[in-house]
Amino acid sequence: MEATFNDNGALKHFNSLPKHIDDAVKKAVDFAGAEAVREMTGKQGLSMYGRHKKGTPTPSPAGDPPAQVTTNLRKSVKKFAAHRIGFGNYSVKVMPTAIYAKAQELGLPERGLPARPFVAPARNRLSKNKRLERMFRHTMYQELKKHHG
């Protein structure tokens, strides 16, 4: 006995699965990048000490994120577009673009400017509490659920 079964709807559904997976990963990576921006610029990052007037001592102790005279450093933290490395593999770059960001992050010992990091601590907080991992999985699940119930 020979039986042939062809359900074009099911085949179409499963053939589209790889594209939906790839798209879901991209969306989840973009979401993770946006969360990294929030972590760098939020209350444990560049918004920790608020602002102070130019020429006055900074309220930020060495080793903590810098207090700001302007909001330029905070506004310079950007999430660039996620780029595809391979199937289901995307990368997103999140970084400050202000010219003095590196000096704030790492300090300038030769000029007596201590490090006031805000990038590395944000990365450490995100990886330590596994929040990004959970958010990534949740975003993937929600995106795939839209297309494959």
* Segments making up each domain of the chain, as ranges: 26-148
Query: Does position 14 have pLDDT exceeding 80, yes or no?
Result: no
The secondary structure element, H or E, covering residue 91 is strand 89-91
Average of per-residue pLDDT values in the chain: 88
The band of 142, judged by pLDDT with boundaries at 50, 70 and 90, is confident
The band of 97, judged by pLDDT with boundaries at 50, 70 and 90, is very high
The band of 4, judged by pLDDT with boundaries at 50, 70 and 90, is low
The band of 5, judged by pLDDT with boundaries at 50, 70 and 90, is low
Residue percentage of the chain with pLDDT more than 90: 61
pTM: 0.83
Rounded to whole angstroms, the Cα distance separating 13 from 122 reads: 40
pLDDT at 75 (0 to 100): 97
